[in-house]
Amino acid sequence: MRIVTYYSHLNGWEYLKVHMPTIWDEIVDAIESVNAGNLKTKISKEKSMKGRVLYSPKDMNASIGKRFSENGWAERRVSYWVTQDSELIKRTIPLPPDEQKKIIAEAGYKPIRSYNQTDYVKDKVAVEVQFGKYSFVAFDLFVKHLAFYVGDIIDVGVEILPMKELQSEMSSGPAYYEGELYNLIREGRGVPAVPLVLVGIAP
């Protein structure tokens, strides 16, 4: 696989190149280590593409993830407690999970446990490899990366997406770089308020 292009939001790429060049090198290595020819393994059952051999999102994810794991990247999960009362949410957001739960319960509400999870985190950089449905990308950018940034767990979020040329050789539905770049830029220069790098890859 190769990186075709990337987009730096709020100087995310510049931050990596200046402060963490080896981290960026590991991201490039994880992508370039994958032999795309071995990943065209999915036989389509969709009416419009029945019988076509397509790239397998599951196999692409696993191949890139294997290299990240070899280089010491690991899953990170952050738990927190939610409730129906907005004022309680505002009070408890900055607090540790145990305190969140206690305050919600003391106020007479039921604490509901929730969490955010990212597959690959290292040295305060989070990477999401996204070959799933287009709606997942917005969740990554506006919930996962943003929450980890606000919580001081990461300084930069990286989203790896297929270029249209790759996505067109996959099942229908996955997001693609060009479309998600448009969606990100449409939100304005400061939204979401987290440094990001959008990375477009292809065989």
- Residue 184: inside a domain: yes
- Lowest mean pLDDT, pick from 38-42, 121-125, 194-198: 38-42
State pLDDT tens for residues 134-185: 789 999 999 999 989 988 999 999 999 999 999 999 887 789 999 999 999 9
- Residue 125: inside a domain: yes
Domain limits for position 59 = 2-75+118-202
pLDDT on residue 140: 94
Q: Is the pLDDT of residue 16 over 90?
A: yes
- Residue 159: inside a domain: yes
- Residue 99: inside a domain: no
Region 7-21: mean pLDDT is 97
pLDDT on residue 190: 92
CB 46 within 8 A of CB 149: no
CATH number of the domain that 172 lies in? 3.40.91.20
- Residue 24: inside a domain: yes
Q: Is the pLDDT of residue 132 over 90?
A: no
- Residue 69: inside a domain: yes
State pLDDT tens for residues 70-129: 999 999 998 999 999 999 999 998 899 999 999 999 999 999 999 999 989 999 999 999
Phi, psi angle pair for 132, to nearest 5°: -95, -165
- Residue 131: inside a domain: yes
Q: Is the pLDDT of residue 188 over 80?
A: yes
Count how many domains the chain has.
Answer: 1
pLDDT on residue 135: 82
Cis peptide before 162 (omega within 30 of 0): no
Write b or e for each residue in 55-77: b if 16 or more Cβ atoms lie within 10 A of its Cβ, otherwise e: bbbebbbebbbebbeebebeebe
Mean of per-residue pLDDT scores for the chain: 93
**In this structure, what DSSP letter does residue 141 have?**
I
For CA atoms 188, 194, 195, 201, give the dihedral sign: negative
The CB density around residue 123, as the number of other CB atoms within 10 Å, is 14
- Residue 113: inside a domain: no
